[in-house]
Structure 1
Amino acid sequence: MCEAYKNNLLYPRYLFFTISWYSEGWWRDGVEQYGCTQEQMEQVLEHTLTIVFLPSARYLDPSLTTDTKTNLTIGEYLRRESEEYVNRAPLNISKVDDLSSDCYDGMYAFTYALNSTINDLNTNMTLNDMANNYVDNVTGPFRIESFSYENSVVMETMFKNLERTNFRGVSGDVHFDSNGIRAVTQFIVLQYRKNQSTGDLESVVVGRISPDLTFTFEPGETEDTVWPSMFSIFKKFSSLTISVL
């Protein structure tokens, strides 16, 4: 970012994409060692876009109720999460992680798949015997405590149960493919902008991308709000340079 500033690679002639998992305020940390000020970094970063690939409660309707046994609304989850971070203030945890809701749902899905796998092993003795083939010194029916990563029978059963998992969690709809990878129903597009009240640079949701790669603006957002002055640049230049930082 600093080199971009030094080479005058600024909006609206240049538009950058950044990685979504950078920490909050990452451009402020140690910027002086690169020979730039925070203000100069923000000149490059303003209008920059970033795509959130993993689901997060932070970008969903807080009134939605989950399908988990807790019956939490997304708003209630976020409230409890924030309270926990406040309680941990002595640990210098100052920001609720956007990925925490994804982890919460991941653990719920894993628990469901694990319980289903244990039930399959306990009720299907043929499957149980097959799983026992990977155990040394067998003393009885297979128990999940005897699982090892070499036990492909248990792993395949686990993946099948994970693939059957389908519920609305605090990070949105949760389901997985046959490889245990969570399916993403949409990507969130954020943009760094100056807050008109505080003057601080912050990220805001400007749109969403569906699995078929259709982009939809958030309510109140348009081409003019996301890319002010951009289209006049198209008329002046034959090409626009887009880079990923």
Structure 2
Amino acid sequence: MTACANIVGQITNRMLVGLPLCRDATFLRRAKRWSRVVLQTAWLIYMLSGFLKPLLAPLMAVPSILCHHRALQMVIPVAQERLERRERRAAVADASACDWDEPLDYMKFILDEGSDAFNHVLTNDATTLARAAFMVNAAAFHATGLTLANLLLDVFSAPAHVADALRAEALAIQREYGLGSKLGLSKMAKMDSAIRENMRLHVLGIKAMYRYVKPKDGFTGLDLVAPSPSPIYSLG
């Protein structure tokens, strides 16, 4: 699980903040620590009584805030450099003459989106941009890392022909489309099926979040006092 979480953290941050930060051991350690602390803090605050939350929650959140601040300080210079380079490119009359190719990552997506959801980033504030990109780390390490760990355990505890078939498919796609090709990934039917079946058997969401189907006419007093012994889940 530790190895898988570290691998997922590097891959995710390659998409979020790019090189070289995604391979910086200090940054990855800080990001992983924050992703763990923020979830632990949320669980503890959730268990507080309603009248205690306004009093204790700000104090309980201090460790999470400090971890977030330490990691964010390493992302802000990257965000600042991105904004400065975009400004310099915009100032050039012929954009094609610019010798900088902007990385295709989450920061570029946020800045190019231009929708109401991202208007706060379009003010060219490096701290806001860094925070928006870094926040995805809250779910990057542990949830996806657990899925990868379960997949590896299931594949290599199955008969040998399962791993052989997945490896052969991956090598064939790599030879034809190369690494990281979206088209190639879409053609990995066996790998897709293995991941989907693994997630069906090991459903993290069932343990992390309950979904109750609300009756059409609303909840009755009986529904609230004596809920069903097994929660009803809905995909809707």
- The answer to whether the superposition gives a TM-score over 0.5 is no
TM-score, normalised relative to structure 1 = 0.30
TM-score using structure 2 length: 0.31
| Max Rg structure | 1
Structure (1/2) with the larger helix percentage: 2
Select the structure that is richer in strand: 1
